[in-house]
Amino acid sequence: MIRFHLTKEIGILCLSLTLLSSSASAETKHRIISVNGTVTEIIYSLKLENQLIAVDSTSYFPKQASSLPNVGYQRTLATEGILTFKPTLILGLESAGPPATIQNLKDAGILLRLFPEEFKLETPANRVLEIGKLLGKEKQATVLAKSINEQIQNLKINKSNLKVLFIYSRNPSSVFISGTGTAAHAMIELSGAKNAVNEFSEYKPLTSEALIKANPDIILMPEKSALGFGGEKAIWEINGMEFTRAGKEKNLILVDDLLLLGFGPRLPLVLKTLNDQWKLIE
């Protein structure tokens, strides 16, 4: 099994992208609640964390974000819990919900900015620029976005024929695999490998028949998902796994959830790291 974490050093490196000019005369002050981990990461990267008053449960990077009050998971937000903090601005992705809560917050007169779910190379820089513009940090955002784009342009991704199966689960009774049109699919393809499943879009429950048919070379999972599923041993005990190359060779890669699926400022890092892992397994 291969497991890689975002080390402290790499984290510092990424955040060092934000050693930017401190001039921000047009900066607008808000009481911000971020309901997405990538958005929170960008807010810290732009040194706007002094405006953050609460975050959601996916906001654990950088580490300081974990010390802020938590309003729960981004898809299951509760109106009352959020209003308690008296926010003036809520930032997140369009997947935030449920819809009734989002409407309640709008009705309460709170400004919401929910960014599109996109899984492209340009997504991190675009999000940085949008958040920078919204919060009066255009110059800093431009510098950071330029740095991210330069890192992406300098990436040397070697194409591979390896088939990677992305599995997501919070418990053994609910196991899903990723088809096309997902962050996992985009991450596999952008890092040079092939998604083992292309017959459907979004996520579908895993079956032993589908697993054997896909015959993946590698299993890719978010770390927290793997823990919720029961760890590595439980993964290899999935029906049909023993008939796949991944199961026979125990090729499992675990990656921090936010790093793997967030499409944030650290996208170049995770693409390079995954591509390196593909080469080791080929």
Within-domain flag for 26:
no
Q: Is the pTM of this model over 0.85?
A: yes
Q: 191 and 274 in contact (C-beta within 8 Å)? A: yes
Within-domain flag for 2:
no
Within-domain flag for 189:
yes
Q: Note the pLDDT of residue 95.
A: 94
Tell me: pLDDT of 51 over 90.
yes
- Give SS3 for 122: coil
Within-domain flag for 13:
no
Tell me: pLDDT of 6 over 50.
no
Percentage of residues in the chain with pLDDT exceeding 90? 87
Which carries the bigger pLDDT value, residue 37 or residue 228?
37
How sure is the predictor about 23, in pLDDT bands with cuts at 50, 70 and 90?
very low
**Pick from 122, 154, 186: which residue ends a domain?**
154
Average per-residue pLDDT in the chain? Answer: 91
Q: Same domain, yes or no, for 168 and 149?
A: no
Q: Same domain, yes or no, for 52 and 118?
A: yes
Q: Note the pLDDT of residue 135.
A: 95
Among 4-8, 109-113, 217-221, where is mean pLDDT lowest?
A: 4-8
Q: Note the pLDDT of residue 22.
A: 41
In angstroms, the CA 211 to CA 23 distance is: 54
Tell me: pLDDT of 9 over 70.
no
Q: DSSP string spanning 37-74?
A: HHHHHHHHHTT-GGGEEEE-TT---SGGGGGS-B---T
DSSP H or E segment with residue 261: helix 257-261
In angstroms, the CA 251 to CA 274 distance is: 13
Tell me: pLDDT of 27 over 70.
no
Within-domain flag for 242:
yes
Q: Render the burial of 96-114: b for 16+ CB within 10 Å, e for the rest.
A: bbeeebbebbeeeebebeb
**Pick from 102, 125, 154: which residue ends a domain?**
154
**Pick from 135, 154, 173: which residue ends a domain?**
154
First to last CA, the chain: 14
* 3-state secondary structure labels for all residues of 76-89: CCCHHHHHCCCCCE
Q: Note the pLDDT of residue 19.
A: 40
- Give SS3 for 2: strand
Q: Same domain, yes or no, for 119 and 181?
A: no
What is the per-residue pLDDT across 233-243, written as a single tens digit (0 to 9) for each? 999 999 999 99
Q: Same domain, yes or no, for 93 and 110?
A: yes
Q: Same domain, yes or no, for 144 and 170?
A: no
CA distances to 15, 101, 122, 143, 180 from 112, in Å: 26, 12, 23, 25, 29
In angstroms, the CA 145 to CA 207 distance is: 41
Tell me: pLDDT of 17 over 70.
no
What CATH number is attached to the domain comprising 227?
Answer: 3.40.50.1980
Within-domain flag for 19:
no
What is the per-residue pLDDT across 110-123, written as a single tens digit (0 to 9) for each? 999 999 999 999 99
How sure is the predictor about 26, in pLDDT bands with cuts at 50, 70 and 90?
low
Within-domain flag for 14:
no
Q: Note the pLDDT of residue 143.
A: 98
Mean pLDDT of 139-145: 98
In angstroms, the CA 252 to CA 240 distance is: 15
Find the domain containing 209 and state its range: 163-281
- Give SS3 for 148: helix
Within-domain flag for 22:
no
Q: Same domain, yes or no, for 98 and 176?
A: no
Q: Same domain, yes or no, for 137 and 180?
A: no
Q: Same domain, yes or no, for 262 and 178?
A: yes
Q: Note the pLDDT of residue 2.
A: 61
Percentage of residues in the chain with pLDDT exceeding 70? 90
280: its two tokens? 């080791």
What is the per-residue pLDDT across 81-95, written as a single tens digit (0 to 9) for each? 999 999 999 999 999
Q: Same domain, yes or no, for 195 and 256?
A: yes
Q: How many domains is the chain partitioned into structurally?
A: 2
Tell me: pLDDT of 24 over 70.
no
Q: Same domain, yes or no, for 275 and 171?
A: yes
Q: Same domain, yes or no, for 182 and 127?
A: no
Q: Note the pLDDT of residue 165.
A: 98
Q: Same domain, yes or no, for 98 and 81?
A: yes
